[in-house]
Amino acid sequence: METTLEHLVSMPRIGDEAPEFKAITTQGIINFPNDYNGKWVILFSHPADFTPVCTSEFITFAALEDKFKKTNCSLVGLSIDGLYSHIAWLRTIREKISFNGMRNIDVKFPLIEDITMEVAKKYGMIQPGESKTQAVRAVFFVDPKGIIRAIIYYPLSLGRNFDEIYRALIAMQTSDKFSVATPADWNPGDDVIISPAGSCGIAEERMTTDSDLKCEDWFFCTKKLSKDLVLKEVLKN
Ligand code: BEZ
């Protein structure tokens, strides 16, 4: 097995095909990303089973699983622990732990056993400056064609913001469906950004012709996109 530092920190990038792997999980064997063809999938890592921040995250993610499913998105977790540790931890979560008013939470999405770190290394989830033995909190958004579309990394001590993870997913699906971009802090119902003018003529037209666009300047034009339309398109995925 390769153990160079370079190998530990190599990571796929936005726009790359998601690296393939076959893994044992709490829901059986998965072949990634092939088993998820035609679906979005969020592949996320956490440092270790039976740790408090991770437990709060798993309860939160599991409680939101149906919301993600409605947007055609599956969840897959990973840590550098074995299958039996995963099973014991998920049983403990269901039987004993409550967080933010959520209790008796059944984690139904697959949790990968990665004791060999094979998957964690492929996805750059080991960041040696933070830990050489535990995965950081990585989030990979993989689209229905198996392409990595966004990546978020958090350190060990910082629990993720799941509203942001959901917002990013909806924003990327909205960009795909409506060929628009989304500005800072965008949420469904907010104005969206149309592609920049590609010629002097279009730039001029945008600044002088009445239309449903709102242009701050020739390069910064927005238009309305109703929340109903966004949700109708995204939820029918
Ligand atoms: C936690 O999940 O609580 C945790 C895990 C590793 C390091 C620090 C915190």
Please write the tens of the pLDDT for every residue from 47-69.
999 999 999 999 999 999 999 99
Residue 156 Cβ contacting ligand 1 at under 6 Å: yes
Residue 113: partners with Cβ closer than 8 Å, 6 or more residues away: 23, 24, 25, 81, 82, 83, 86
Q: Is 54 a catalytic residue?
A: yes
Tokens of 109: 């999405």
Spatial distance between the Cα atoms of 158 and 141, rounded to a whole number of angstroms: 19
Centre of ligand 1 to C-alpha 11, Å, is: 22
55, 157, 158, 160: which to mutate for ligand 1, most atoms within 8 A of CB?
Answer: 157
How would you list the strands of the sheet with 214-217, edge to edge? 192-193, 220-223, 214-217
Q: Which of 46, 50, 51, 125 to mutate to test the pocket of ligand 1 (most atoms within 8 A of CB)?
A: 51
Name the pLDDT band for 88 (thresholds 50, 70, 90). very high
pTM for the model stands at 0.94
Query: Does ligand 1 come within 6 angstroms of the Cβ of 135?
Result: no
117-160, pLDDT tens digit by residue?
999 999 999 999 999 999 999 999 999 999 999 999 999 999 99
Say yes or no: CB of residue 64 within 6 Å of ligand 1: no
Query: Cα(42)–Cα(68) distance, rounded to whole angstroms?
Result: 9
Question: What pLDDT digit, counting tens, does each position of 198-237 carry?
Answer: 999 999 999 998 889 999 999 999 999 999 999 998 887 6
Residue 8 clears pLDDT 70, i.e. is over it: no
Structure tokens at 37: 């063809």
